[in-house]
């Protein structure tokens, strides 16, 4: 039996359900603080890389989180995306792609990792259960207002027909509705090319159409394909973020969510790596006060609530109106928050693709 270190005179036994980015990073932080968490991860993602569908893109700012647990971002860097194409608007960015499977493996180094799901029988022995199961949200009650974005992603090799090189990019004009296609370089002429959108169907055909547009300039070979869902709910609408319960012997048990299980994914962009790392850091710093943790998460990610409200508004409109000024401003702020240097006036013009969808929701581009 393993216990956490003394906290306010008590010993706490901790289990983390889910060994992805949020769960594994949190385990390292807690261990550094003198605790000994057990990490349970028996999830079968049925993917070649062992991870659920994800572009592996993140801002360079995650360097500070890795440094906290003695890791160097350069060891995981696949390729920088110092410039990206946003529907023909090229902008400077601090974004990059990382070797996510390797990073997760290193986060779990020295941690007690059990390759099984946390079952009810095992769970009752722990004082604290951390729900880091992402979209599954296996331990917490349902979100009070969930919003899910389906995705499809391919890992491909790209060979230029000529002298050009496929550039990193995000393309909303190729997708009818609230969604986009992403092109993220992984080095050695390999890419993650994926598509995601709220209420979007026919993902394969939309991807095929995108490849057809590229066919005159590039030869594309597909290595693998994966599907997944992303929670773009925001923490505010993912409440409750924690709950307390009594075990049969009368002892209390705390269940707390971290990362995507409580909606720390940017609603506009679907980016969750950096936000999950920050969420885990807030948990570790708030320990063992769940109320302080929940308050800190809701404050830190309050902007996600506004982005979610914009998505709800646009979904309700369905051709009845175009984005309001506040919505356009939120899209612009989203880009700036990610460090993307979009010129303001041009960025507002680019948001016209949303207006096009609202005016003709049935058309594909």
- The full set of domains in the chain, from first to last, is 6-146+232-302 (3.50.50.60), 148-231 (3.30.9.10), 306-359 (no CATH)
Q: Which residues of 311-333 are buried (b: 16+ CB within 10 A; e: fewer)?
A: beebeebeeeebbeeebbbbbbe
pLDDT of 356: 41
Average pLDDT value over all residues in the chain: 88
- Give whole-number Cα distances, 345 to 11, 89, 122, 329, 333, in Å: 56, 12, 56, 11, 13
More confident residue, 357 or 27: 27
3-state secondary structure of 97: strand
SS3 151: strand
Q: Which two tokens stand for residue 120?
A: 């009810």
pLDDT value of residue 50: 67
Q: Is 105 exposed, middle or buried (0-12, 13-18, 19+ CB in 10 A)?
A: middle
Task: Return the minimum-mean-pLDDT range out of 25-34, 152-161, 349-358.
Answer: 349-358
User: pTM of the entire structure?
Assistant: 0.90
Per-residue pLDDT tens digits for 106-155: 999 999 999 999 998 899 999 999 999 999 999 999 999 999 999 999 99
What phi and psi values does residue 44 have, to the nearest 5 degrees?
A: -105, 105
* Res 46: pLDDT: 66
**Of the candidates 60, 59, 107, 19, the residue with the CA atom closest to the CA atom of residue 271:** 59
Query: 259: phi > 0 → left, psi -120 to 50 → alpha, else beta; which?
Result: left
Instruction: For residues 261 and 263, give the distance between their C-alpha atoms in angstroms, rounded to a whole number.
Output: 6
| Percentage of the chain lying above the pLDDT 90 cut | 69
Residue bearing the bigger pLDDT, 164 or 231: 231
pLDDT digits (tens, 9 = 90+) for 164-218: 899 999 998 888 878 899 999 999 999 999 999 988 889 999 999 999 999 999 9
Is pLDDT of 45 > 70?
Answer: no
User: If you compute the radius of gyration of the chain from its CA atoms, what whole number of angstroms results?
Assistant: 21
Q: For residue 1, is pLDDT > 60?
A: no
What is the average per-residue pLDDT within 46-71?
A: 88
At 33 the pLDDT is 93
- Output 304 or 352, whichever has higher pLDDT: 304
CA atoms within 13 A on the CB side of 323: 24
Q: What pLDDT does residue 354 have?
A: 41
Q: With cut-offs at 50, 70 and 90, classify the pLDDT of residue 346.
A: low
| The pair of three-digit structure tokens given for residue 191, joined into one six-digit string | 């890419």
Q: What would the DSSP string read from start to end of 217-253?
A: TEEEEEEEEEEEEEE---TGGG--SEEEEE-TTS-EE
């Amino acid at each position: 039996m393993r216990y956490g270190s003394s906290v306010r005179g008590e010993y706490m036994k901790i289990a983390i359900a889910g060994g992805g980015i949020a769960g594994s990073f949190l385990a390292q932080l807690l261990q550094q603080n003198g605790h000994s968490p057990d990490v349970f991860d028996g999830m079968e993602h049925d993917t070649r890389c062992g991870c659920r569908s994800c572009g592996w893109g993140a801002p360079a700012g995650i360097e500070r989180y890795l440094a906290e647990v003695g890791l160097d971002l350069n060891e995981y860097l696949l390729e920088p995306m110092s410039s990206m194409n946003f529907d023909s608007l090229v902008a400077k960015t601090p974004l990059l792609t990382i070797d996510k499977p390797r990073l997760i493996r290193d986060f779990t180094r020295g941690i007690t990792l059990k390759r099984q799901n946390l079952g009810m029988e095992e769970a009752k022995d722990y004082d604290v259960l951390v729900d880091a199961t992402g979209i599954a949200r296996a331990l917490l009650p349902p979100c009070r207002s969930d919003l899910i974005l389906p995705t499809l992603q391919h890992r491909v090799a790209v060979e230029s027909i000529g002298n050009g090189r496929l550039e990193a990019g995000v393309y909303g004009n190729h997708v009818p509705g609230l969604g986009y296609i992403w092109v993220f370089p992984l080095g050695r002429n390999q890419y993650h090319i994926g598509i995601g959108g709220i209420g979007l169907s026919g993902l394969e055909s939309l991807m095929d159409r995108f490849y057809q547009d590229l066919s005159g300039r590039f030869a594309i070979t597909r290595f693998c394909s994966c599907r997944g869902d992303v929670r773009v709910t925001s923490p505010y609408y993912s409440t409750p973020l924690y709950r307390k319960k009594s075990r049969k012997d009368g002892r209390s048990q705390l269940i707390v969510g971290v990362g995507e299980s409580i909606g720390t994914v940017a609603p506009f962009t679907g980016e969750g790596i950096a936000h999950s790392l920050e969420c885990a850091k807030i948990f570790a710093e708030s320990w063992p006060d769940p109320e302080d943790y929940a308050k800190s998460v809701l404050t830190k990610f309050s902007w996600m609530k506004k982005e979610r409200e914009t998505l709800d508004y646009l979904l309700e409109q369905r051709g009845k109106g175009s984005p309001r000024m506040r919505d356009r401003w939120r899209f612009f702020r989203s880009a700036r928050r990610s460090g993307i240097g979009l010129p303001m006036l041009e960025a507002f013009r680019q948001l016209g693709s949303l207006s096009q969808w609202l005016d003709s929701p049935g058309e594909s581009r």
